[in-house]
Amino acid sequence: NSDGNQNKENAYLDLLEEQRVQGVLITPIDDASQRLHRLRDRGVRVVLLDRRSPEADLCSVSVDDRLGGELAVRHLVESGHRRIAYVGGPHRLEQVRDRYDGALQALTGAGLGEENLRRYDTPALTVAAGRDAAARILGQPKNSRATAVFCANDLLALGVLQVLTRQQIRVPDDIALVGYDDIEFAAAAAVPLSSVRQPRQRLGQTAAELLLDEANNPQTHQHQQVIFEPELVVRESSQRPLMEV
């Protein structure tokens, strides 16, 4: 686990290269970097997991994050929300951008504008960053602040939920909340968290199959960019419709 630390990720990759591993499955912090291409050039097979390769010279297995963002915000709009916050970052990450773009697409489809989605950038996709974002949201005047929050991942959403609960903000009555990834803790949160679910087992299995095929059949292997569709799992954090906005 790199913990979102680039130096830690590089140290792990150095270690794997020293051990002369046959292949690496990686969810890189940033987009596919020169570091990964150096591994590939030295004979180590590399497959990106939960990321898309910007080029066709690496296999990747990912999820349609634009669709995921669209599903989340469409659900909030259909529940009556018109002031929605998007919490996620850093925005240089393709996943974060795609989920935001999908959220905008949902608003467009509902005849709403970009002003209905307020972006709260975070330095990382962590619980602590979610708490900081929630404090910024609650710092807005009550009559104009967001009535719903869509987070780029569940860790952020759990941080937001902690602050809302501490401040006695009712979820979803006062502020609805949707996360992304549907991690194990989402359903077990103080208020069960609505989340966009990724097919985790299929992601991992497909990535491993691609890596093994490239390692065992280097002459016939063809790089693939496999993209799965997510699904929205609605729980108590967003399921109660908003009667007035």
pLDDT of 244 reads: 45
- Short-list 97, 14, 102, CA closest to 51: 97
Residue extents of the structural domains in the chain: 6-63+199-231, 65-197
CATH topology assigned to domain 6-63+199-231: Rossmann fold (3.40.50)
pLDDT of 31 reads: 60
CATH topology agreement for domains 6-63+199-231 and 65-197: yes
pLDDT-flagged residues of the chain (< 50)? 241-245
Asked whether the beta carbons of 175 and 160 are under 8 A apart, the reply is no
pLDDT in tens, 204-226: 999 999 999 999 999 999 999 99
Alpha carbons 65 and 101: distance in angstroms, whole number? 9
The arrangement of secondary structure in 65-197, i.e. its CATH architecture, is 3-Layer(aba) Sandwich (3.40)
Three-state SS at 25:
strand
pLDDT of 32 reads: 56
Q: How many CB atoms lie within 10 A of CB 163?
A: 18
pLDDT in tens, 48-97: 998 887 677 889 999 999 999 999 999 999 999 999 999 999 898 889 99
pLDDT of 245 reads: 43
pLDDT of 28 reads: 86
pLDDT of 2 reads: 82
Alpha carbons 145 and 137: distance in angstroms, whole number? 7
